[in-house]
Copies of this chain bind each other. A is one copy, B any other.
Amino acid sequence: MAKSRKKSTRGGAQFFEDSTKPVELSPQDERTLGKVYNLASKITTLVDQDSEPVLAIPARSLSNVSFNEKKRVLQMGAKTTNRELFNLSQAKSFMQTALVAAGAKRLVEMGKTTSIRGLYYMLKHDVKGTKEPTFHDQGECDPVIEDCEVLLEALREELHLFADKRGDMVGNITIVDSGDEIDCSRMGSGGYAIPSIVEPSVIQFKKCSADFVLHVEKNTVWQRFNEDKFWKKHNCILTHGNGQPPRGVRRLLNRLHTELKLPIFCLLDNDPWGYYIYSVVKQGSINLAYESERMATPDAKFIGVRSRDFERCGLSEGVKISLSDVDRKRAKQIADYPWFVHKKEWQREIDTMLRNGFKLEVEALVSRSISYMTEEYVPRLLKEGDFLD
Contact = CB atoms under 8 A, between A and B. Distances in A.
20 contacts: A17-B368, A19-B369, A107-B370, A112-B371, A114-B220, A114-B224, A114-B366, A115-B224, A118-B363, A122-B366, A124-B319, A125-B318, A162-B223, A165-B190, A176-B188, A177-B189, A188-B195, A188-B203, A189-B197, A191-B195
A194 interface: yes
Contacts of A121: 318-319, 361, 363-364, 366-367
A241 to B, nearest CB: 12
A242 B192 CA distance: 16
A186 interface: yes
Contact of A110 (B189, B202, B370): B370
A196 B166 CA distance: 14
Nearest to A223: B162
B124 A318 contact: yes
Given A107-B370, A189-B195, 7 more contacts: A17-B369, A112-B227, A118-B370, A175-B188, A177-B188, A177-B189, A191-B195
Identify which of A114, A121, A182, A186 gathers the most chain B CB atoms within 10 Å of its CB.
A121
A85 to B, nearest CB: 22
B17 A114 contact: no
A192 B189 contact: no
Interface string A205-231: 000000000000001100110011000
Interface string A346-389: 00000000000000010110111111000000000000000000
A135 B316 CA distance: 13
A177 B166 contact: no
Interface of A: 16-20, 107, 110, 112-115, 117-118, 121-122, 124-126, 133-135, 162, 164-166, 168, 175-182, 186-197, 202-203, 219-220, 223-224, 227-228, 242, 316-319, 361, 363-364, 366-371
Contacts of A16: 369
B190 A186 contact: no
Identify which of A17, A194, A195, A196 gathers the most chain B CB atoms within 10 Å of its CB.
A195
A224 B133 CA distance: 25
B195 A190 contact: yes
Given A20-B370, A191-B193, A193-B192, A113 B227 contact: yes
Given A166-B219, A219-B164, A318-B125, A224 B187 contact: no
B195 A192 contact: no
A369 B113 contact: no
B193 A168 contact: yes
Nearest to A17: B369
A136 B166 CA distance: 31
Contact of A220 (B115, B179, B186): B115
A164 B192 CA distance: 16
Nearest to A196: B223
Contacts of A186: 180-182
A187 B197 contact: no
A163 to B, nearest CB: 9
